[in-house]
A and B are shown apart, each in its own frame.
Chain A
Amino acid sequence: MNGAHDMGGMHGFGPVEPEPNEPVFHGEWEKRAFALTLAMARPGQWNIDSSRFARENRDPAEYLNMRYYQLWFAALETMLKERDIVAEDEIEAGHALHGAKPLPNVLSCADVLKVLHRGGPTERETNTHALFKAGDKVRAKNINPEAHTRLPRYVRGHVGTVDRVIGFHVFPDSNAHFEGEKPQWLYCVRFDGTELWGPDGDPTVKVSVDAWESYLEKP
């Protein structure tokens, strides 16, 4: 979706302001929101792509005004409510009011490190051949889906060069909407700064994105 999250190339946000000696979390609520999100990723029955969509899928003004873990928490609430795992009246009351439906894989203390260590690899087996090879010129398609996509607006319509064929990976655009992993060939595609930003762009800059095969076409 063309949401506020897709902000590459936007102006007006001001300078980057690194915080000296920044703590990992700012306040107790950030810790709990972070840990709840990771813990509920097990029994909640969603995936990383649908989680990203739940964060970005909101009014742009709201997105830009929320702190990072507020976004995470809002997305967690949405996903829990969509599945009737928690209801709004329970959050308001601060207690369970309705029966708990059984959920598999509740994250136990003993499993935490194992689950983190395993992660969630997205590379899949294939017998197919990649359509493009390193060095090929490709154009990022001009697509504007209202659904989840990982092709940022700032490269759409622009011509780049395949830097590397990465592998065969789960396709977020379908996985985010529970339409299957539908893995595809994934490429690292490099664009010249002047191709993306015009003749005033910095000629020493090259920007690359990782792009699934269906995002790309022959120029």
Chain B
Amino acid sequence: MTHEHDHHHHHDHDHSELSETQLRVRALETVLTEKGYVDPAALDLLIETYETKVGPRNGAAVVAKAWADPAYRARLFKDASPAIGELGYAGRQGEHIVALENTPTTHNMVVCTLCSCYPWPVLGLPPVWYKSAPYRSRVVSDPRGVLKDFDVTLPADTEIRVWDSTSEIRYLVIPMRPQGTEGWSEEQLAELVTRDSMIGTGLAKSPKDVGK
């Protein structure tokens, strides 16, 4: 059996399993609604909340404020959840947040090897790659190899700290503030903060990359 054929076969199998799941999801929602256990309007609101309100722009606002406001930065590193709560972001999967500081000598990366723990109030729901076997298996043993997959290369002597989210503590990376941003407003700074830079698989954008 050629590799290609094997791949194709797997894909077909995956596809039919998925159709089956799609049908069952719809069926279960109907059954639960008929029994009065779920309100479809509440489901719509849950989806809308995570599609449009809770996402990485929240985290970017936190990082930008930490860059611009030394007193806020101090509060954030002392106890992150209340500091993040000051901006109105709180709750499910962010009850106990810890902020991790990237420096010229230390780079932080966050994973949940056992499932998919992720700081929802500041980053939203995790991307597929964060929940995938390639990331979860390799970032704890070969973080530099994982960074290459994201086109990130760090100096050979940078210490890499990998934080495996095995408890209800959620970790948020505060990337280094790019040079050439002196005097920028928080709104401008937030444009430099990518989701991946707050997980540790990326760096903040440099001013020349804004808009790209």
Q: Is the pair A17, B164 in contact by a Cβ cutoff of 8 Å?
A: no
A residues less than 8 Å from B47 (CB atoms): 25, 31-32, 34-35
Contact pick for A6, options B113, B144, B162, CB 8 Å: B113
Is B4 in the interface zone, CB < 8 Å from A? no
Q: Is the pair B21, A73 in contact by a Cβ cutoff of 8 Å?
A: yes
Q: Is the pair A9, B45 in contact by a Cβ cutoff of 8 Å?
A: no
Q: Is the pair B114, A106 in contact by a Cβ cutoff of 8 Å?
A: no
In angstroms, Cα B129 to Cα A118, docked, is: 28
Contact pick for B167, options A100, A150, A204, CB 8 Å: A150
Looking across the interface, which residue of chain B has its beta carbon closest to that of A99?
A: B35
Q: How far is the CB of A101 from chain B (nearest CB, A)?
A: 9
Is B86 in the interface zone, CB < 8 Å from A? no
A8-B137, A70-B18, A150-B114 as given contacts; A117 in contact with B161, CB under 8 Å:
no
Is B138 in the interface zone, CB < 8 Å from A? yes
Q: Is the pair A16, B132 in contact by a Cβ cutoff of 8 Å?
A: yes
Is A178 in the interface zone, CB < 8 Å from B? no
Q: Is the pair A202, B91 in contact by a Cβ cutoff of 8 Å?
A: no
Q: How far is the CB of A202 from chain B (nearest CB, A)?
A: 6
A91-B27, A107-B38 as given contacts; A10 in contact with B133, CB under 8 Å:
yes
Is A96 in the interface zone, CB < 8 Å from B? yes
Q: How far is the CB of B70 from chain A (nearest CB, A)?
A: 23
Contact pick for A95, options B30, B37, B96, B158, CB 8 Å: B30
A117-B90, A210-B169 as given contacts; A123 in contact with B134, CB under 8 Å:
no
In angstroms, Cα B54 to Cα A118, docked, is: 15
The 8 lowest CB-CB distance pairs between A and B, nearest first, are: A210-B167, A8-B113, A100-B35, A35-B43, A96-B34, A94-B27, A10-B137, A119-B91
